[in-house]
Amino acid sequence: MRIKKEIRSIVKSFNFAFKGLWFCIVNERNMRIHLVVAAYVLFFSLFYNLSRLEYIVLLFSIALVIIAEMINTAIETLTNLSSPSYDMLAKLSKDIAAAAVLIAALFSIVIGIILFFDLTVFTCIFAFFTESLLNVAALILSLILSCIFIAKGFLPVRRSRQSIVRRIRDSQERKGD
């Protein structure tokens, strides 16, 4: 019986984590940008002969940016909840969290330049896409779909952060009654 309770608790924890990830993807344009860039970087990394260590560094830098963006989102959400009107300290906390994402992204760009700046591989990538009209069409289609995903997200499930904060406040007020 106790084991079942522990398993349910673990499953609930994972469920909460996936809900948080989903919230970020659905509601945060910058998260979608990071995910799209990560997907393209991982695709184009296949053209390189990266070592395991280089892939570890690459994956670490991608994870660092995504984690920083999620922490930034959490800080922004908590700040909006605790300070609904404009407050200079609230703005400062949001700016600092955004700066953390910027530093992580710049760090990842530097890693990308170190790992991927190779003109011979650039020509191989160019040849790959110019040798077949299907490859060019797939690249163009992926770019179009990526732009739509970044701009619109998942249209049917998207909610504004303000409406979510409003729902949270309403549920807190009902609990307080």
Catalytic annotation, residues = 69
Alpha helices (H) along 28-132:
29-45, 52-82, 88-116, 119-130
CA distance 89 to 82: 11
| Contact between 64 and 104 (Cβ < 8 Å) | yes
Burial 120-142 (b: 16+ CB within 10 A, else e): eeeeeeeeeeeeeeeeeeeeeee
